[in-house]
Amino acid sequence: MFLVDTNIWLERILDQDKSHQVQSFLQQISSNKLFITDFTYHSIGVIITNLGHGDAFDRFTQDIFIDGAVSLIRLKPEASKQLIEVIDQFKLDFDDAYQYLAAELNDLTIVSFDKDFDKTKLGRKTPSQILKQLNP
């Protein structure tokens, strides 16, 4: 089970350098094994619509939630103390700490291109690392 970080989704949506790597990952991993935080979902909405691509955000929502089975998770307000502890412990910014704590509380592997997760207990995997583990 995988928590897919914001940069992974954006890589594919914006057709950036590692888009094919993300595409392979998303094609080979069943969507019911993928999780996204509400923070990521809304951040993607802000970024995509600010770029003038509201239609891309609508397609993204359709693809992952309506046609797919990606699960949306969130941190409850009661987790704010834990969130601050994660920020202090690993020297993460708020958005990375949010992703980290959501993954930790839900026993998920973080899928990200963000190296900041490397200094945490959970670490992170890139899409290609996961695919190599599944297809040695």
pLDDT, tens digit, 9 for 90 and up, residues 8-51: 999 999 999 999 999 999 999 999 999 999 999 999 999 999 99
- Which domain range does residue 110 map to? 2-134
Number of domains in the chain: 1
Percentage helix, strand, coil, to 5, in the chain?
Answer: 65, 10, 25
| CATH number of the domain encompassing residue 32 | 3.40.50.1010
Integer Cα distance of 103 and 4 in angstroms: 9
pLDDT exceeds cutoff 90 at 135: no
